[in-house]
Amino acid sequence: MKYYIIAGEASGDLHAANLMKALKKTDPKAEFRFWGGDLMEEEGGTAVKHYRDLAFMGFAEVIMNLRTILKNISFCKEDIKAWNPDVIIFVDYPGFNLRIAKWARKEGYKTHFYISPQIWAWKENRIKDIQRDIDEMYVILPFEKEFYEEKHGFKVNFVGHPLIDAIGDRPPVDIRKIKAKYGLDDRPVIALLPGSRKQEISKMLEIMLSVTDDFKDYQFVIAGAPSQEEEFYRPFIKKKNVHLVMNRTYDVLEISTAALVTSGTATLETALLKVPEVVCYKGNFISYQIAKRIINLEYISLVNLIMDREVVKELIQNEFNHKNLKKELTKILSEEQRKKIFADYLELEQKLGGKGASENTARLIYQKISAS
């Protein structure tokens, strides 16, 4: 079968790549055409656009780049028509994907959505678009099934969280070898995960790096995002105890004692890799003021949202400063606090279910398309 897949961010690239791998096992004749990233390209098929050309963050940034976004939407529709796939698989990235889904449903294409848009956080009225335009929804967070089915009467498939597979399938690591590989010494590592987009990286790193002189017994390692070039990070590496490792976030986390993490999927990855973390976020002032008024959530990190309580400390906007960051980092380096965090992380993993999210999703997609 012919699978057209649209992923618009680094996390979507990871999950879509694992889904492609599972689809190839389920459907030996699988053909792929996709919008995504390097990980999807490794699985084969034809890449149409890289997600680095699609990532616009926040309300103000979207408005500034509206012409480019509209051109991409128009191009995507024409590309789908030319290839005529058996199914279109949308991977998160709702602003773009739901627009394509509306058009695709009218054109008679099968529309499957893997990794639900976070409409439980904001824009809950998008449920009407999903009910109208999406044939099948595959959700990865346990509370999403209740949200869709009990609150809105829309049947979905809970498949488990793909990060459990992505992390669980990694071979055991030799910390000394990894440190030697990246030119690190024997001191414990504090990981810095400042996000994947230029504007957020710049905001995050300036404050994250402000605490390096307060923890001289540690070395700080910036996990460079695959969507950025190494040279972009060079101005931030001005001290001897600050290092950069490009496109190897899991390697960095697996050798880390603690982490400072920009909100998003990375907060969950860090928790599943059992690294105590402080969650950080500081956005564009206008975008943040708008978001604060329309998002009705008590937490911003996936860890706390899934657990429905504060497991990891969140420093948001003005609270994200040198003083607070030093205080919270000191806390998660203490043995007593770390024991509590590790116990919470174990409970978190149990809530997410077991392995097999990619395989479960691939099997369901193939069965439903074959039967239609």
Express each pLDDT in 271-317 by its tens digit.
Answer: 999 999 999 998 765 555 545 545 567 888 999 999 999 999 999 99
CA distance 199 to 194: 10
Domains of the chain: 2-160+356-371 (3.40.50.2000), 169-351 (3.40.50.2000)
pLDDT digits (tens, 9 = 90+) for 141-193: 988 999 999 999 999 999 999 999 888 888 888 999 999 999 999 999 999 99
Cα 295 to its chain centre, rounded Å, is: 19
- Which regions of the chain are under pLDDT 70? 55-66, 284-296
Cα separation, 112 vs 85, in Å, equals 12
State the Cα–Cα distance between residues 266 and 270, nearest whole angstrom: 6
CA atoms within 13 A on the CB side of 14: 20
The HSE-up count of residue 337 (CA atoms within 13 Å, CB side) is 17
> Look-up: residue for tokens 């699988």?
30
Statement: the pTM of the whole predicted model exceeds 0.75: yes
CB 190 within 8 A of CB 259: yes
